[in-house]
């Protein structure tokens, strides 16, 4: 950024004068980077052989436009992620990354920003609201008032040329939003909130047309002239883009083939006897060389990486790295590795819940579908079992059948919950690794905003309709116990769906994993199989069944105190409960509620643990 500094003239040369000078951005150096990944094989994800991604790569990134180029699979994105601290450190076999001669730790994210290749934005929010979300979480409240934050956001909107679309939603599959270039500008703006002097971008022109890509790079060039170090990977830029590069790093199969000024790259390759045809784009020419599609006029058996290591550019980089390495300041690395946040836990919870509420309100399809499904099922079950008689045998058969369908609806009606964390997985990983908020904040926002209103309210409406249409016990306390049981069964099903959603990244796998336990729980729920006659080695499964606890609770609530007659024959509800081995005491009813609560807490706890374990190095 442009900064004004005081320049003091010697006596006699003038008074103290305040002049504006350009403050250079940080200098990033990386030396002998050797990064590998271990491949996984088969459905069991067995550990396979190691594969080298980067092979002893070194370089220097200074203030300005620092481009990392290479063909697909050359390792340019891996290099960008390694120097930005976005790669799993376990894969770093050797190497060192320094920022202004200081060893890099997790604190790097406080002075840098990272823009991912795919624009990760909340589609139901406007451009201004997305920027405000980033500002609220990443700007300290002690230094920035609400007015200051809004002023900063307005300045970013003007700087990025987003005035015309500032109040337009980003867009979803249901909402038409901004253009691709505006999405990319908004993504950059989200990271500029903290005024970073070091900016990383992964393929910022991917998916954009030629003119839009040119405008994005021109914008980055303008930002770099303000004193920022901008590092980005790019595949095959047009010439108008390439000529804006200050520094070029060219990779081929994980090795460096050129590091130096971008405007000197053509001279370097021409010195190796490569000839560029007239009107050929230099970027295309370089990729043709690395891909072997262009041959030198003087053949050589040496590889491009070997030729580079014999060049003056390699010697210059090596000498500069030696001088820097000899004066490393280790104080930066001595700081705690515990992630720090600009705002408090409760303020983060407030902001994230606000965004979640807006997302639910503006994308209500799932909520409407959940409500409509519950009303439809309540009316259907109510009509099928309308005003159930009290005469045998219909009284027992209809009631037990109705309870079974009620519990099935409560459990399987919440399958939509499996998409909750999967849909926003990329957003969560990016924002959480970027220091926006704590994992617990994101998890609790989903519990408070999605779980309670979207699951409890529809279930209460379902209970009101179905209970009185079926003609169950008229006592209001019995209805409350019925509604409580339906809610607890529903929440238990949702919590298991939450666990699956937090554990996998694809809908196909989630559907398989959620259906399997639900089917087993249904089989061992007590309706399809008599639990008393079950094989002893299988009997323990009933204690894990949501169906069992739900059926027992609702059966106790309805049957206790009931008298059914068939002519002179009389059957009490207690007699039926005893025949099924169900404890119908007061504790017998509430122990089922406690068991359901236990399932909810266990599943929710493991869901939170799984969120914390999500791989942030992807």
- Asked if pLDDT for residue 333 goes beyond 50, the answer is no
Q: With beta carbons less than 8 A apart as the criterion, state whether 63 and 25 touch.
A: yes
Give the whole-angstrom CA distance, residue 248 versus residue 231: 10
Q: How far apart are CA 128 and CA 133, in angstroms?
A: 9
More confident residue, 10 or 29: 29
Tell me the two tokens of residue 90.
Answer: 């376990």
Q: Which of 216-225, 300-309, 567-576 has the lowest mean pLDDT?
A: 567-576
Residue written as tokens 């300045």?
Answer: 155
Euclidean distance between CA atoms 379 and 617, whole angstroms? 49
Measure the CA–CA gap between 212 and 232, rounded to whole angstroms.
17
Who's near 97: CB < 8 A, 6+ residues apart?
Answer: 28, 29, 30, 33, 82, 83, 85, 103, 104
Predicted local confidence at residue 532, as pLDDT: 57
Q: Is 55 helix (H, G, I), strand (E, B) or coil?
A: strand
**In Å, what is the CA distance from 392 to each residue of 463, 467, 569, 570?**
25, 20, 9, 9
pLDDT band, very low/low/confident/very high, at 276 (cuts 50, 70, 90): confident
Helices (H), 107-161: 108-111, 127-138, 146-159
Q: What number is the average pLDDT over the span 117-131?
A: 89
Q: Which region among 21-25, 73-77, 122-126 has the lowest average model confidence (pLDDT)?
A: 21-25
Residue 62 has pLDDT above 80, yes or no: yes
- The b-or-e profile of 543-579 (16+ CB within 10 A means b, else e) is eebbbbbbbbbbbbbbbbebebeeeeeebebbebbee
Quickly state the pLDDT bin for 526 (edges 50, 70, 90): low
Lowest mean pLDDT among 87-91, 237-241, 435-439: 87-91
- Name the least confident of 144-148, 277-281, 389-393: 389-393
At 395, list the tokens.
């009284």
- Give me the pLDDT at residue 480, please: 93
The pLDDT tens digits of the residues spanning 513-523 come to: 888 888 878 87
| Six token digits for residue 531 | 């639990």
- pLDDT tens figures, 304-324: 999 999 999 999 999 888 887
Is 372 or 332 the better-scoring residue by pLDDT? 372
Distance CA 596, CA 607 (A): 16
- pLDDT > 60? residue 245: yes
For residues 554-569, average pLDDT = 85
295: Cβ–Cβ under 8 A, 6 or more apart, which residues?
none
Q: 267 or 414: which carries more pLDDT confidence?
A: 267
pLDDT in tens, 502-511: 888 888 888 8
Domain ranges of the chain: 28-325, 345-356+365-613
Q: What are phi and psi of 101, to 5 degrees?
A: 65, 20
Task: Give the pLDDT score at 109.
Answer: 59
Confidence of residue 195 (pLDDT cuts 50, 70, 90): confident
Confidence of residue 601 (pLDDT cuts 50, 70, 90): very high
Q: Is the pLDDT of residue 604 over 90?
A: yes
pLDDT of residue 9: 36
Confidence of residue 10 (pLDDT cuts 50, 70, 90): very low
Phi, psi of 9 (to 5 degrees): -85, 150
Higher pLDDT, 256 or 95: 256
Q: Quick one: pLDDT band at residue 22, thresholds 50, 70, 90?
A: low
Q: Distance (Å, rounded) from C-alpha 304 to C-alpha 258?
A: 9
Q: How many CB atoms lie within 10 A of CB 82?
A: 24
**Confidence check: pLDDT of 1 > 50:** no
Second-level CATH architecture of 28-325:
3-Layer(aba) Sandwich (3.40)
Task: Report the pLDDT value the prediction gives residue 53, as an integer from 0 to 100.
Answer: 87
- Predicted pLDDT at 529: 65
Q: How do residues 348-371 score in pLDDT, each as one tens digit? A: 999 999 999 888 888 777 777 778
Can you tell me the distance from the alpha carbon of 233 to that of 206, in angstroms, rounded to the nearest whole number? 10
Entry pTM = 0.81
CA dist 176 and 84 (Å) reads 33
pLDDT of 570 higher than 50? yes
Average pLDDT over residues 389-410: 85
Distance CA 30, CA 61 (A): 9
Angle at 543 between CA 538 and CA 547, to 5 degrees: 105
Q: Is 187 helix (H, G, I), strand (E, B) or coil?
A: helix
| Ramachandran assignment for 207, one of left (phi > 0), alpha (psi -120 to 50 degrees), beta (any other) | left
Strand 28-41 to 46-61 pairing: antiparallel
d(CA 432, CA 612): 10
Residue 336 has pLDDT above 60, yes or no: no
Q: What is the mean pLDDT of residues 370-383?
A: 88
Most trustworthy range by pLDDT among 219-233, 411-425, 558-572: 219-233
The pLDDT of residue 15 is 43
28-37, 94-103, 543-552: the lowest-pLDDT one:
94-103
C-alpha dist (Å) from residue 456 to 35, 367, 485: 49, 12, 11
Please report the pLDDT score of residue 6 as a whole number.
Answer: 35
The token pair that represents 583 in the structure block: 């404890």
- Per-residue pLDDT at 259 exceeds 90: yes
145: left (phi over 0), alpha (psi -120 to 50) or beta: beta
d(CA 85, CA 333): 13
């Amino acid at each position: 950024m442009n900064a004004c500094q005081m320049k003091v003239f010697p006596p006699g040369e003038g008074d103290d004068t305040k002049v504006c000078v350009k403050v250079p951005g940080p200098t990033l150096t990386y030396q002998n980077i050797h990064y590998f990944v271990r491949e996984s094989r088969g459905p069991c994800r067995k550990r396979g052989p190691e594969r080298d991604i980067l092979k002893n790569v070194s370089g220097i990134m200074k203030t300005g436009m620092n481009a990392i180029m290479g063909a697909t699979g050359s390792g340019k994105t891996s290099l960008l992620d390694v120097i930005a601290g976005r790669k799993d450190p376990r894969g770093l076999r050797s190497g060192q990354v320094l920022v202004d001669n200081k060893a890099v730790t997790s604190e790097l994210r406080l002075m840098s920003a990272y823009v991912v290749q795919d624009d990760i934005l909340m589609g139901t929010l406007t451009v201004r609201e997305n920027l405000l979300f980033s500002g609220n979480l990443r700007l300290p409240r002690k230094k920035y008032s609400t007015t200051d934050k809004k002023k900063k956001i307005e300045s970013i909107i003007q700087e990025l040329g987003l005035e015309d679309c500032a109040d337009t939603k980003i867009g979803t599959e249901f909402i038409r939003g901004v253009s691709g270039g505006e999405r990319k500008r908004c993504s950059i703006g989200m990271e500029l909130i903290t005024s970073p002097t070091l900016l990383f971008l992964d393929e910022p022109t991917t998916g954009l047309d030629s003119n839009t890509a040119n405008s994005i790079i021109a914008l980055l060039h303008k930002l770099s002239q303000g004193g920022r170090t901008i590092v980005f990977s790019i595949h095959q830029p047009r010439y108008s883009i390439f000529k804006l590069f200050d520094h070029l790093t060219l990779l081929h199969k994980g090795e460096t083939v050129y590091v130096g000024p971008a405007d000197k790259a053509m001279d370097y390759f021409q010195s190796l006897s490569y000839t560029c045809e007239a009107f050929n784009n230099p970027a295309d020419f370089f990729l043709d060389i690395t891909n072997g599609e262009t041959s030198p006029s003087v053949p050589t058996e040496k590889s491009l990486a070997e030729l580079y290591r014999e060049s003056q550019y390699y010697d210059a980089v090596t000498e500069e790295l030696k001088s820097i390495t000899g004066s490393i300041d280790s104080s930066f690395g001595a700081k705690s590795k515990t992630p720090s946040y600009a705002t408090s836990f409760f303020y983060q919870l407030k902001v994230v819940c606000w965004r979640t509420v807006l997302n639910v309100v503006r994308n209500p399809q799932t909520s409407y579908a959940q409500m409509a499904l519950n009303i439809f099922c309540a009316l259907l079950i109510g009509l099928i079992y309308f005003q159930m008689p009290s005469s045998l045998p219909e009284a027992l058969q209809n009631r037990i059948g109705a309870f079974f369908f009620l519990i099935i609806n409560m459990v399987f009606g919440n399958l939509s919950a499996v998409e909750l964390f999967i849909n926003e997985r990329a957003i969560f990983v990016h924002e959480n690794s970027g220091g926006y908020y704590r994992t617990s904040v994101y998890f609790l926002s989903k519990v408070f905003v999605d779980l309670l209103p979207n699951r409890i309210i529809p279930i209460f409406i379902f209970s009101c309709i179905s209970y009185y249409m079926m003609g169950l016990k008229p006592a209001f306390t019995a209805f409350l116990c019925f509604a409580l049981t339906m809610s607890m069964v529903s929440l238990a099903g949702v919590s298991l769906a939450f666990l699956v959603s937090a554990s996998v990244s694809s809908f196909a796998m989630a559907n398989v994993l959620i259906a399997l336990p639900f089917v087993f729980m249904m089989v061992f729920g007590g309706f399809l199989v008599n639990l008393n006659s079950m094989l002893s080695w299988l009997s323990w499964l009933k204690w894990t069944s949501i169906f069992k606890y739900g059926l027992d609770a609702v059966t106790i609530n309805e049957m206790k105190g009931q008298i059914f007659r068939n002519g002179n024959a009389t059957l009490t509800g207690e007699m039926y409960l005893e025949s099924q081995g169900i404890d119908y005491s007061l504790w017998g009813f509430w122990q089922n509620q406690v068991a359901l609560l236990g399932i909810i807490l266990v599943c929710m706890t493991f869901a939170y643990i799984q969120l914390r374990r999500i791989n942030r190095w992807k």
